[in-house]
Structure formats: structure tokens, C-alpha cells
Homo-oligomer: A and B are copies of this chain.
Amino acid sequence: MMITEERVSLKHLLTVESLSNQEVLGLIQRAQQFKHGDRFKPWHRPMMVANLFFENSTRTHKSFEVAERKLGIDVIEFDTKTSSINKGESLYDTVLTMSAIGIDACVIRHSDEDYYHQLIQSNTIRCSIINGGDGSGQHPSQCLLDLLTIYEEFGDFDQLKIAIIGDITHSRVAKSNMQMLKRLGAKVYFSGPKEWYDPKFEAYGHYLPLDELVEEVDVMMMLRVQHERHDGGTSFSKESYHQQYGLTNERAAHLKPQTIIMHPAPVNRDVELADALVECPKSRIVQQMHNGVYMRMAILEAILEGKA
């Protein structure tokens, strides 16, 4: 796949599906340049980014923050617990405030799906929105870092066999990944509990038994069981989930030599995958977190470079 010389420029980053393949590959290429030591060019004026995380986060939040600092951006942390949100101020008015005080872009994680619609339609709000996760909706920066990690490993997406395993219905990143991977030429497969699988995923790949997939695929993409998005009624014990749908040590023994294991983290150790596999040679979980910083640098640059 050809990679363009032209730098990607974005107004917002809300969903990954709105990016062209060329833009995705452009961001991957730029992230790789940052990873290989490319220093950012100083901004033509000081840039300011606010991080607004209305849901708990370690990786996404701190990874964006590290990326911002590496790019020499002034970072404004917004603490929902001590803000005027507690006086009833809306998300819209909060972002309007950020815009008014000169924030160039807001990274937002919020429990409402599509929380950003009103924000980007405003004539008054001038700051760009970078979606750090919306409810059970989208998580574009996670999808892009996953794509970077796969691309880095295999150099191409064409005909790659990728299994997405687990709590697909509640996963923000699974839905993006299945669409993007298919569009980029990969073959997607699914497995996991049938109650967390939706027939509409068939548009992107097929459901197969887990034990069949472990012997076939190039990428085992395990999804987190999102206890916090279930209403307490998960019908599995940790042990039974692990035995039925987890990557056990036994199953891992059947993976092909070049196959890699991915997981967006935080991992429920001994649930989605065996404790010992998290940091095993096949695992790219630490690498995914590491790549997340460089992908977010690429995203931030694509958003900010066009700012007047």
C-alpha cells in the first residue's frame, strides 16, 4: 500500500470510520516517524489542549498527556470532580468555556454515545474535539494504535487473519477495528460468548469456535470483559469465562509462531488471557501502550498544525 508524502490534517477526530485509508496510513507513518526519533517542529504559536475525562481512564488519559508534553503543548487537566459540572453545568457549556479561554483542542471521554454532536455544530465553540471514547460508541485513537501495532508487525493488512474475541457488543474499539481492518484488506473472525455477539458483525467477518481460530490467525485480539458496562448480570465466573473464551496457556500453545496477542488493557489477568501471557514474547500489549503515545502525537499534530 502506497503511503503519501502529504501530512494528514483533521478538524476533529470523532470516529475512525470517517478517515480515508490514505489518512489512516498517513497517521501510521507519522506515528512511526515520531517513534523513530523524529522531533516535532516548534508550533508557530503556543498550543493548549485540555483533557476532559468524565470516565475513569489510565492508559488513554495519560498516553494523551504524555503525547501532548512530547509535542510541547500546554496541557490543561480538567477534573470533573471539582468542576462546575457539580453545579449542573452541561458538557456543552464546559467545552464552550474551554474554547472561550483559548483551548485549541479538547480530548474528551464521556459516557454518552455521540456526546460530540452538539459540540461540533456550535458556531461559538472553536476548539477541535478529539474523541477519547464515547459510551459504547467509538474509541478512534485506540483503533489507530491497534492498526499501527499490526502494521508495524506485518508491514501490511492484506489477507492478514485477525480474530476479535470476547465482549464485542460493549467494546468501543472492536467495532471500529472490524470495520477498518476489513476496509484495509484483512480477514476478520470473531469468537466469544454468543450473548455478546451481534449478527450485524457478520458484515465484517465470521464467528468461529475459539479453538479453531487459535491455530489459524495472525492476530489474537482479546477484548476486556467490561464489568463496568454490564449491569451486574454477567453469567460467567472468571474461571468459566477463561476456560470457555479466554486465551489459556493451553490454547496459546497452538498459536502459529508469528502470531501476536493483543489486548486494549486493562487486562483482567486469568480471565481474557492467562496471567503469564500478558508479558510473554507473543504479547504486544505493552507495545500497544507504547505505540499509543506515538499515534496520539500524530493525531494531535494532524489536528493542531492547521490552527491559525
Complex Cα spacing A74 to B293, Å: 15
Which chain B positions have C-beta within 8 A of A81?
A: 81-82
Q: How large is the interface on A (under 10, 10 to 19, 20 to 34, 35 or more residues)?
A: 35 or more
User: Residue on B with the closest CB to A89?
Assistant: B266
State how many angstroms separate the Cβ of A98 from the closest Cβ of chain B. Answer: 7
B102 and A56 contact, CB distance less than 8 A? no
User: Residue on B with the closest CB to A70?
Assistant: B46
Q: A286 is contacted by which of B63, B65, B96 (Cβ under 8 Å)?
A: B96
User: Residue on B with the closest CB to A93?
Assistant: B266
Q: Is A57 an interface residue (CB 8 A)?
A: yes
B interface footprint on A281-308 (CB within 8 Å = 1, 0 otherwise): 0000011011011000000000000000
Given A46-B70, A102-B66, A102-B293; A59-B84 close (CB under 8 Å): yes
Complex Cα spacing A218 to B286, Å: 53
User: Residue on B with the closest CB to A290?
Assistant: B100
Q: Which of A41-98 contact B (CB under 8 A)?
A: 46, 48, 50, 53, 56-59, 61-63, 65-66, 69-70, 74, 76-89, 93-94, 96-98
Given A97-B289, A101-B289, A289-B100; A76-B65 close (CB under 8 Å): yes
- Chain copies in complex: 3
Complex Cα spacing A228 to B84, Å: 11
User: Residue on B with the closest CB to A57?
Assistant: B84
Residue with the greatest number of chain B CB neighbours at <10 A, chosen from A57, A93, A98: A93
Q: Which of A222-242 contact B (CB under 8 A)?
A: 227-228
Residue with the greatest number of chain B CB neighbours at <10 A, chosen from A76, A268, A292: A76
Residue with the greatest number of chain B CB neighbours at <10 A, chosen from A74, A100, A289: A100
Q: Is A277 an interface residue (CB 8 A)?
A: no
Q: Is A123 an interface residue (CB 8 A)?
A: yes
Q: Is A202 an interface residue (CB 8 A)?
A: no
- New contact pairs (16) apart from A48-B69, A58-B78, A69-B74, CB-CB < 8 Å: A46-B69, A53-B82, A56-B86, A58-B97, A59-B84, A61-B82, A65-B76, A84-B266, A87-B227, A87-B228, A100-B286, A101-B289, A101-B290, A101-B292, A101-B293, A102-B293
Q: Please list the 5 inter-chain residue pairs (A to B) with the smallest Cβ-Cβ separation, ordered nearest first.
A: A100-B289, A58-B84, A89-B266, A56-B86, A58-B83
List 30 contacting pairs A-B, 8 Å CB cutoff, sorted by A.
Answer: A46-B69, A50-B62, A56-B85, A58-B78, A58-B94, A59-B84, A62-B97, A62-B98, A62-B101, A65-B76, A66-B101, A66-B102, A79-B79, A87-B227, A87-B228, A88-B266, A89-B266, A93-B265, A93-B267, A93-B269, A97-B289, A99-B286, A100-B287, A100-B290, A101-B289, A101-B292, A101-B293, A122-B279, A123-B279, A124-B279
